[in-house]
Structure formats: structure tokens, C-alpha cells
Structure 1
Amino acid sequence: MDQHDYPLPAPVRGVPQLVAAPQGRRSGPAVRCSGVTRGASGACRSLRLTPGPGRRQAGAMITEGTPASGPRDERVDPHLGTIVHVVGSRQARPNLPSSGCPFCPGGLEAPDPYDVRWFRNRWPAMPGDRCEVVLYTSEHEATFWSLGVPGVRKVIDLWAERSIELGRRDDVEFVLVFENRGPEVGATIAHPHGQIYAYDHVPERPRRIFAAGWQPDPNPGDRAVAACGGWQAYVPHAPTYPVALTLAPRERVPNLAALTEQGRDDLAGLLVDVFERLDTLHGRALPYMMWLMQAPTGGEWVEPWFQIEIVSPWRSAGVPRFIAAAEVACGEFFNPVIPEVLAEQLRGLAP
């Protein structure tokens, strides 16, 4: 269930690294709205250039301990500012289940029948009950797209419910919903599932995205892949990974909680569509990573635009594209797959 980490591009030279200005904590979710509206409550945000709530200073180290999670050792590289969570307790976790699937009904984490289910991670990467697992279905052999729109809608609703609940906490600034599918990207259990991490700060990459005022490409042209109602999917202009998709609503919305009922249905339809295309691309199940970039739950930010990113390390069937030394060293990447060609291939695989 581990997140498979790849290096991220370094900050752009000359661009200030903006962070959230601290404000009073809210007792509810970051945004509540009955529709997809620009300028929804809590959406107009301001930025500042100094460290915000939960932000680590370079060279800092925090050590905590709880019986459940073991010691917490969070370090910051004094030169690059990179945050590293040293979690020695996770070395003791099993890589694969010893017998049976713990996520199937009757298993360790699912003693009763269920449609969707969440529980706290037994091997958390962060302390304080801030790491959760979300089970998409009780069917072990299912894929995300085989759940159909009704099944995926249940997953979306649970994502939203947990995002709201975690976002209410005073020690949470950013909620990340994500999934790793396949051992190639670090998944240790094949049963369809994802995870949620609730950070006590806004991590570097999301902060840079929000500070830059990210918006979806209004005209992706030959990089467009699919659309469903108010949602679109396209290959980004400069993807780091050989397979990469961005999913975004056509109208600005900050997070899952702010989506209308129709917006959630449209998102479910698009997820079913694109995941079926991805599994058809190479004629076998594609290993992938997916994450939901929702608005921070604390501080004040420029009005964000919710997006979902899906990437895969495969450059062809069963052939991974490794991030190599020059890329790690310099933060510049060499992608062997032409984005427009990938989009054309995916468009031709309409379900």
C-alpha cells in the first residue's frame, strides 16, 4: 500500500515559493456549497512568502512517539528544503499477506460484508490517526472501472466524507486521497483500494500548484482524451511520466465536498471511462498512481481548482520508464512518449 515516490521537478528559478497565510481554524470542511460556483465560501484566499502553519524550517527535526505508530522523525534537507518522513516502524510491516486477503469480507480489515469501507492504516506513515485505507469494493478481482458508475459514485462519496472529516481537525492542513495499483508502483495487496493521508502542513508540490493558480487547459486540442458532462480528461503538456492524465471539472470547484450531485456522477462516469481505456492501452492491467489535488483545509489560499492526476511508469507493455541519474540530479526529465501520440491512442480506445 506504499506510495511509490518519484523525484519532483525543482522549484522554478525566480518564482517565489508562496505559502498559506495562517488564519483561524475552521470547525467544518474548507468549503460547503450546494453547487459548482466560483467564489464559494472560503474560496477567496491570500498568500504570503513566510512559512505558514505546520511548515518545517530547513534543518528541523521533530521526534514524537505513540504506541501505535512508533517514533516520528520528520527531517528537512538544509539545502533543498525537502521534507523526509523517516518511519522506521514501517520496516516491520508485511510486504504481502501471509494467508488470505485482509480486505475481502471475513478478512482482518473487513470482518463483515460491505460495498465500500474505510479504516485506519495499521502501518501509518504519519502519527495521530492521519493515515487511512479506503476499500472500493468487496470483489477481490474487480478493477476501478468494472465497478461501473454506481460503484465508483459510492467510492467518490466515501472519499468526500473522509476528506471533510479529516479536514475538520485542527492538526490537518491538507488531505490527499490517492491510490497505487500494482506491485510496479509499490502496492502490496491486489484488492482494489486506495489511501488517504492527512498532512499537518501543505506539502511542497501542492503548495507550488496552488500558488501558481493552476487551471485546466481550456483547449487541450490533440491532447484531449475524453469528457463526461462537466468533466474533461487530457494528457498534460509536459508530463514527467510516459502515461499521464489530468482530470478536471470545466467550472472551478475546490474539492470533492463542493461538487454537486451531478458533478459527482460526471466524475464517476469519466473515471470509469479513462480507467477502462488505460487498462486497454497495453492489453493488460496498467500499474498506475492516482491522486486528488483538493484545496488545503487550513490557511487562506488563492481560489483553487480541483484536479485529479493519473500516471503510470510504463512506456510500453510491461516496460517501465525508470527515473535515471541525470533526472534525479537535475530535476529535468526525458519522456520517451509523445503526449499527443498517447492522447491519440487513448482516444481510439473508446469503451
Structure 2
Amino acid sequence: MNKTVRHLADGREIIYFDDSENAPPRDAQDARDLPAVAPASEIRCDPLTGEWVAMAAHRQTRTYKPPADLCPLCPTRPGKPSEVPEASYDVVVFENRFPSFSPHVTGEPTTVDGAGLVPVAPGRGRCEVVCFTSDHERSFRELSEARVRTVVDVWADRTAALSELDGVEQVFPFENRGEEIGVTLHHPHGQIYAYPFVTPRTERMLATAAAYRAEHGRHVLGDVLAAERAVGTRVVAEGEFWTAFVPPAARWPVQVQVVPHRQVGDLTELDDAERADFASVYLQVLKRCDALYDRPLPYVAGWYQAPRRRDRELSWLHLELFSVLRAKDKLKYLAGSESGMAVWVNDANPEQIAERLRAAA
């Protein structure tokens, strides 16, 4: 894989990752007249829960559902410049023009209204866009295993780079797919958030893992993985180094965890064989998901990685995919119990979800 770093007209970094043997040199210039990036991100800590919330009012003006011929993620064409100056690409990563977190925000930690009650700090971090292919009409499911392997290498590359930025505590690569999820750009792409704090979900998982290890001397996800592989009732796909299964306490009408058989903290620790096997297993999962309702499944898929600076021994890398679609034309809404009290009610049990996914193949 060949990696080329360039810059866009407003100074943002763009990085080309080429896996094609005859890829051209990446020397196209961004000819757009862009204003300087002026993010205004900040984070505030909820005094009742201790959780950080990001404020990014500048994102209100971000691109929203443009026509396909004006897609900002497609390669640049004559008279139609985009975020990618080249006429084609394999995989490309660039800094988000409307980031939730940015290394360029200024200011010092303080409190809201100077009252000392609600901590507030600059939202320093970084947000990147990852385009999986230059083909606007494809989806991740339609990528080759070789291309998925390239994407895994890109995720690992960016995890390593973003983890070295000042103030970054956790790196989260993810993909949102489908309008029902809230996607406003239909080109096949994902994002990477480099957070200035450890996320609430991760904090909860780390605390659970610590308590389980103190009692049993083992990692909780390792024991869950072993149990799922032994019983097989909820297993959806399996390879030499990865198993995909519906979690035994699934919250969503479609939910799959893809877990490596070896405990690693993040994507950078995966070896070549594990990266290749993930590509095979994950494509099986996506094909089953799209066959479930005989339509492209809207989903969120994200990597749960270790915090950069602590508790790595309590972390076990895994990917989780979930969908809000509970039937071909019905959505699961997060109503009072889920939204208000975070108590989930699922309309299907995990065994049924797994059986439907296996049958969908």
C-alpha cells in the first residue's frame, strides 16, 4: 500500500492510500477558494452524570444531502471540484471540514459562567472522513476482501497517528449507513473521531471488565466469546481468527459483535493474518444483513478500542454493528424507557436475531 500526504485549499490534510499497482502519483492541487477552517468546538461535563458532551454549533452549516453529481466525496471532475482533488482514488482520508473536535480550537479549561459547577474545555481532538472507494454507487458490502483489508490497514494507520496527538484519549473509527441512521452523504464512507476524553460507553465497559477480572481472573469478553463459540446459537459467521455473534443481551433489532479470538487493545496490534480474516468474516456479516430484509440495511458499525493512555489490559478490541430497522419498513424508535432511562426493550430476542441472519444468507 502506498501512502501520500497532501493538503487541501484551506490547509486541511488529505491522505491517499493506494492498493492498486498502477495508481498514479497523487499530485493534483485543490483549486477551490475555501475560507479558513474556524471550528468552535467545546466540551462540557454534565454535573449529574459526569459525562462529557460536545458542543459544535458550527456544524449546522455542513453539507446536507447534495445531488449525486455534486457529491463532495467523489473525485473531482471538470467544473465540479470536490473534497478530493484527484480524478480517482482507492481509499482516501481527510480532515472533516465541519469537525466535532479539532486541534485548532483555542482556550483553556474553565467552568460554565465561572460558577465552578460545570467544567468546560476546548473540544480539542480531530475528526476525519474515510472514503472506502471512489465509486459513488458501491457500498462497503460490495468491496473486495483485498479492499476491506486495505481499509483495516488505513484504520490502524489513523489510530496510531491520531493517538499521538496532544490531548487525544480515545480513537473511534465508525461507519454510518442509510438515511434512517441519519446519513446525509450517500457516498460509501466512514469517519474517525479522536476524542479528548474516554467515552462514557468505554468507561462503563472498563469498569465492568475490572470487576469481572477481580472476581474471575479473566477478561469478561474472552469468556463471552468462548461461550458463544461453544454453544453457537447466536453465531452468525466465523473465521480462523474472528467470530461474529449476536450479543446475548442485544439491545437492537439487528446487532452483531465481531470479536478477535486473541485479546488486543486496538487495530494497530492485529497481525496480517488477523486483518485478512476480519475482511472475510465482516463481508459475510454485511451480506447477511443486506439479505435480511432484501434491501440495504441501515446501520452503525464502530470499533471499540482501548483508551490510549490507560486501562489497555482491560480492553478487548471488537467491532459492533447495529441497525434501527426492526422490519423491512419499520423502525425501532428510542422512546421513553430507552431515551429517558437507558433501559432497553428489544422486540426480538438474540437467538431469533441470529437465526434470521443465518437464514438470510
TM-score normalised by L of structure 1: 0.78
| Equivalent residues of 1:225, 1:233 under 8 A apart | yes
C-alpha distance in structure 2 between counterparts of 1:119 and 1:320, whole Å:
32
C-alpha distance in structure 2 between counterparts of 1:87 and 1:257, whole Å:
30
> Is 1:102 matched with 2:113?
no
Aligned residue identity for 2:279: A
Which residue number corresponds to residue 53 of structure 1? none
Query: What are the within-5 Å matches in structure 2 for residues 30-45 of structure 1?
Result: none
> Is 1:111 matched with 2:85?
yes
SS of the residue 2:59 aligns to: helix
Alignment partner of 1:219 out of 204, 216, 227: 227
Which residue number corresponds to residue 50 of structure 1? none
CA deviations 1:167-214 (Å, max 9, x no partner) are 112321100001100111111111110000001111111122123224
RMSD over aligned CA atoms reads 1.5
Which residue number corresponds to residue 51 of structure 2? 82
CA deviations 1:285-332 (Å, max 9, x no partner) are 000001101111113443421110000001011211001013222221
Q: Identical aligned pairs, as a percentage?
A: 38
Aligned residue identity for 1:151: R
Which structure has more relative contact order (CA 8 Å, sep 6+)? It is 1
Bigger Rg, which one: 2
C-alpha distance in structure 2 between counterparts of 1:264 and 1:172, whole Å:
25
C-alpha distance in structure 2 between counterparts of 1:326 and 1:348, whole Å:
31
C-alpha distance in structure 1 between counterparts of 2:335 and 2:321, whole Å:
21
C-alpha distance in structure 2 between counterparts of 1:88 and 1:132, whole Å:
18
Alignment partner of 1:122 out of 97, 114, 139: 97
| Equivalent residues of 1:211, 1:302 under 8 A apart | no
C-alpha distance in structure 2 between counterparts of 1:185 and 1:348, whole Å:
24
Higher normalized helix content (fraction of residues)? 2
Shift of 1:244: 0.4
| Equivalent residues of 1:69, 1:127 under 8 A apart | no
CA deviations 1:229-282 (Å, max 9, x no partner) are 110000001122111000001111211111110000001111111001101100
Q: Which moved more, 1:244-253 or 1:78-87?
A: 78-87
| Equivalent residues of 1:177, 1:197 under 8 A apart | yes
SS of the residue 1:215 aligns to: helix
C-alpha distance in structure 2 between counterparts of 1:86 and 1:101, whole Å:
26
Q: Which runs of 4+ in 1 moved over 4 A?
A: none
| Equivalent residues of 1:69, 1:124 under 8 A apart | no
Aligned residue identity for 2:84: A
C-alpha distance in structure 2 between counterparts of 1:127 and 1:69, whole Å:
9
| Equivalent residues of 2:39, 2:98 under 8 A apart | no
| Equivalent residues of 2:65, 2:185 under 8 A apart | yes
| Equivalent residues of 1:231, 1:247 under 8 A apart | yes
Unaligned runs of 5+ in 1: 1-66
Query: What are the within-5 Å matches in structure 2 for residues 1-351 of structure 1?
Result: 68-97=37-66, 100-106=70-76, 107-112=81-86, 113-128=88-103, 130-213=126-209, 214-216=220-222, 217=224, 218-220=226-228, 221=231, 222-350=233-361
State the number of aligned residues: 284
Unaligned runs of 5+ in 2: 1-35, 104-124, 210-219
Q: Which moved more, 1:315-324 or 1:85-94?
A: 85-94
SS of the residue 1:302 aligns to: helix
Which residue number corresponds to residue 18 of structure 2? none
Which residue number corresponds to residue 17 of structure 1? none
Aligned residue identity for 2:70: G
Return closer, same or farther for 1:248/1:69 CA change in 2, 3 Å cut-off.
farther
CA deviations 1:6-53 (Å, max 9, x no partner) are xxxxxxxxxxxxxxxxxxxxxxxxxxxxxxxxxxxxxxxxxxxxxxxx
